[in-house]
């Protein structure tokens, strides 16, 4: 199995990416941009061809292959970005593991158990979760998730590899639904939906409040630092008053179920909590990407100023 000493650069590796959709091709770009040789596979030849065309600037480093066996054989690291279906992921990992007994196998699942995905893998200690956030080329964090059988060597090597790509690789030491980021994100979404369902405020107001209050702070001060900052005595008092009233149902909101049943799926269908006109989704995506880039740029400039270096030298 690949091992990378702490603090060392892994050099150029052979990396496999399974799934050539938007996430898979983005992952291929990140690894290729890091100088690694990428084998890219998709069950759809059309999707694979489209992905390769979109990765033209990385052409010397990206090669389409025709089977899972070709992806894995002799590769140091393989990651999948197929649909969130446990049986599909299990089948993919079983075939990858059969093709090579040494390669590290990473799943990009955002909610499925890493342990369950590894259930049909020989030597499951080499299976690890790597939850990338969209868009993966911009969002710094990758959650590295330890399954029940994942070895410390696999965790360490994966963290080191991702860090060498410029990512902020964080360790999630228990294989729990949603890991860290999605647990917190969907706790917020659950309450946002409940506020709309209970007639407290409409969807536009909920989003307006979040964007212009906690949304402005979260990029600079996380929730636990903020709790310490205002005082844990005040935090306790607020929790005693507010938490009993917050939605704590064990399943999804009936309002969410009703919207899905009615075919109101959000941007993809034209309506959900909000109304989406043609082109709105693309404009929203572009707006989000521009916002993330500006925050990262501002952070880099501030970091350079604090360290006394020229940010242009880091570009």
Residue 10, pLDDT score: 78
Q: Which of 172, 195, 211 is the last residue of a domain?
A: 172
CA atoms lying within 13 Å on the CB side of residue 183? 10
Quote the distance between the C-alpha of residue 70 and its chain's center: 25
pLDDT surpassing 90 at residue 307: no
Residue 314, pLDDT score: 43
* Residue 308 falls inside a structural domain: no
Counting the structural domains of the chain, the total is 2
Question: Residue 198: left (phi > 0), alpha (psi -120 to 50), or beta?
Answer: alpha
* Residue 96 falls inside a structural domain: yes
pLDDT surpassing 90 at residue 4: no
The tokens for 91 are: 């089948």
Average pLDDT of span 14-27:
97
Q: Say whether both 91 and 118 belong to one domain.
A: yes
Q: Say whether both 19 and 160 belong to one domain.
A: yes
Cβ atoms within 10 Å, residue 9: 13
pLDDT surpassing 60 at residue 244: yes
Q: Which residue has the higher pLDDT, 299 or 191?
A: 191
* Residue 304 falls inside a structural domain: no
In angstroms, rounded to a whole number, what is the distance separating the alpha carbons of residues 115 and 127? 8
pLDDT surpassing 90 at residue 106: yes
Q: What is the CATH number of the domain that holds 99?
A: 3.40.50.720
The tokens for 87 are: 């049986």
Q: What is the CATH number of the domain that holds 187?
A: 1.10.1040.10
Q: Say whether both 81 and 20 belong to one domain.
A: yes
Q: Say whether both 168 and 251 belong to one domain.
A: no
Enumerate the H helices of 57-85 as residue ranges: 68-72
Residue 311, pLDDT score: 52
Residue 102 DSSP label? S
Which residues make Cβ contacts (< 8 Å) with residue 105, sequence separation at least 6? 72, 78, 79, 80, 93, 96, 97, 118, 121, 126, 127, 128
Q: Say whether both 139 and 186 belong to one domain.
A: no
Instruction: Give the structural domain span for 98.
Output: 14-172
* Residue 217 falls inside a structural domain: yes
Q: Say whether both 20 and 160 belong to one domain.
A: yes
pLDDT surpassing 80 at residue 303: no
Residue 131 parent element (H or E): strand 127-132
**Cα dihedral value 163, 217, 213, 267, nearest 10:** -10
Average pLDDT of span 198-213:
97
Average per-residue pLDDT for the chain? 93
Q: Say whether both 187 and 160 belong to one domain.
A: no
Residue 222, pLDDT score: 95
pLDDT surpassing 80 at residue 37: yes
Q: Say whether both 66 and 145 belong to one domain.
A: yes
Q: Say whether both 142 and 20 belong to one domain.
A: yes
Average pLDDT of span 51-65:
96
* Residue 277 falls inside a structural domain: no
pLDDT surpassing 90 at residue 194: yes
- Specify the range with the lowest mean pLDDT, choosing from 225-229, 274-278, 289-293: 289-293
Q: Which of 217, 239, 255 is the last residue of a domain?
A: 255
Give the pLDDT band (50/70/90) at residue 310.
Answer: low
* Residue 314 falls inside a structural domain: no
Q: Say whether both 23 and 75 belong to one domain.
A: yes
Backbone angles phi, psi at 88, to 5 degrees: -65, -45
Q: Say whether both 22 and 165 belong to one domain.
A: yes
* Residue 72 falls inside a structural domain: yes
Average pLDDT of span 67-82:
97
* Residue 67 falls inside a structural domain: yes
pLDDT tens per residue across span 115-129: 999 999 999 999 999
Give the pLDDT band (50/70/90) at residue 2.
Answer: confident
Residue 315, pLDDT score: 39
Which residues make Cβ contacts (< 8 Å) with residue 115, sequence separation at least 6? 124, 147, 148, 149, 175
Percent with pLDDT over 90 in the chain: 88
Sheet with 14-18, strands from edge to edge, namely 62-64, 37-41, 14-18, 77-80, 104-107, 127-132, 141-145, 168-172
pTM: 0.90
pLDDT surpassing 80 at residue 8: no
Q: Say whether both 136 and 110 belong to one domain.
A: yes
Q: Which of 255, 276, 294 is the last residue of a domain?
A: 255
pLDDT surpassing 70 at residue 193: yes
In angstroms, rounded to a whole number, what is the distance separating the alpha carbons of residues 220 and 264? 35
Give the pLDDT band (50/70/90) at residue 298.
Answer: confident
């Amino acid at each position: 199995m690949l091992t990378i000493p702490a603090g060392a650069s892994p050099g150029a590796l052979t990396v496999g990416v399974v799934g050539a959709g938007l996430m898979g091709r983005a992952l291929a770009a990140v690894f290729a941009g890091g100088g690694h040789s990428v084998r890219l596979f998709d069950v759809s030849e059309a999707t694979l061809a489209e992905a390769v065309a979109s990765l033209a600037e990385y052409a010397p480093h990206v090669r389409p292959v025709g089977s899972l066996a070709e992806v894995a054989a002799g590769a140091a690291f393989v990651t999948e970005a197929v649909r969130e279906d446990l049986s599909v992921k299990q089948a993919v990992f079983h075939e990858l593991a059969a093709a090579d007994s040494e390669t590290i196998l990473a799943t990009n699942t955002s909610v499925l158990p890493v342990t369950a995905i590894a259930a049909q893998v020989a030597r499951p200690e080499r299976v690890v979760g790597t939850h990338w956030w969209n868009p993966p080329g911009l969002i710094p964090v990758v959650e590295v998730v330890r399954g029940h059988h994942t070895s410390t060597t696999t965790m360490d090597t994966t963290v080191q590899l991702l860090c060498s790509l410029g990512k902020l690789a964080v360790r999630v030491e228990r294989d729990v639904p949603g890991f860290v980021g999605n647990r917190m994100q969907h706790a917020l979404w659950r309450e946002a939906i409940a506020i709309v369902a209970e007639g407290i405020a409409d969807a536009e107001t909920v989003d307006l409040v979040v964007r212009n209050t906690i949304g402005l702070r979260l990029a600079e001060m996380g929730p636990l630092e903020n709790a310490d900052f205002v005082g844990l005595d005040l935090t306790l008092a607020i929790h005693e008053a507010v938490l009993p009233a917050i939605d704590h149902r064990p399943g999804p909101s009936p309002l969410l179920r009703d919207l899905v049943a009615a075919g109101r799926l959000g941007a993809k269908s034209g309506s959900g909590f909000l109304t989406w006109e043609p082109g709105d989704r693309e404009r929203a995506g572009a707006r989000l990407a521009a916002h993330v880039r500006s925050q990262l740029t501002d952070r880099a400039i501030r970091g350079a100023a604090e360290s006394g270096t020229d940010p242009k030298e880091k570009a």
